[in-house]
Amino acid sequence: MLDRTTDIPGRIFLPIGGIHCATIPTVISTVLGSCVSVCLYDRGRGVGGMNHFHMPRSPDASKTGLRYGDASLDALLAEMAALGCAGEDLVAKVFGGAAMFGAPGGGVGGSNVRFALDYLRDRGIPVVAARTGGVTGSHLQLFSATGEVLVRRVSRLEGPR
C-alpha cells in the first residue's frame, strides 16, 4: 500500500516515502524539510496526487525505495495513470527542498528540487507552481479535487541560549 491514512475521513498524512492519489475530495498533507513533494493534478478529471521523497535517486538500479525521488515519482505517475490521468491535462506543483541547517549550495534539499524539476521537464509535465528552498520546513496540504495547495512555513525552532 502506498498511502498512509489517518483516522479522519477525507484526510491523509504522508510520511517520508508516502504516496497518495485521490479520486474523491481528500486533503493530503505532509511536513517537509529538505524533502520534496510533487503534487500532480489532472485538470480534466479533478484527480490529485502527492508524494514525499527524501533523496533524489535510489542507491541501486532496482528503484524499490519510495523514499527516493526516482522510485517515488515513477510510482506517483503510475498511480495517476492507473486512474486515467495523463497527457495535456496533467500539471505539477513542487514544494520543499529547504537547506536545513544552512547546507551549502542547498545541500540535499537543493538536489531534491533539481531532480524533481528535471524529472517533470523530461516527461513534458508543466510545473505551474513551486515553493522551494529556504532554510525552514513547510507544512503542505493538497486539496485533491481542485489541485489547490496550501503551504505554511514552519518556524525555525531556537535552541537554548
Q: What's the pLDDT tens digit per position in 106-149?
A: 688 999 999 999 999 999 999 999 999 988 899 999 999 999 99
Which letter does DSSP use for residue 5 in this model?
A: B
The answer to whether residue 78 scores a pLDDT higher than 90 is yes
Of 116 and 6, the structure prediction assigns the larger pLDDT to: 116
User: Which residues contact residue 113 at a Cβ distance below 8 angstroms, ignoring those fewer than 6 apart?
Assistant: 36, 94, 96, 97, 106, 132, 133
Percent of the residues in the chain that have a pLDDT greater than 90, as a whole number: 73
Direct distance between the N- and C-terminal alpha carbons of the chain, in angstroms, rounded to an integer: 44
**pLDDT value for 86:** 83
pTM for the model: 0.88
The full set of domains in the chain, from first to last, is 11-141 (3.30.1330.200)
Q: What's the pLDDT tens digit per position in 40-65?
A: 999 999 999 999 999 998 877 665 68
Asked if residues 30 and 42 have their Cβ atoms less than 8 Å apart, the reply is: no
| Beta partners for residue 59, in sequence order | none
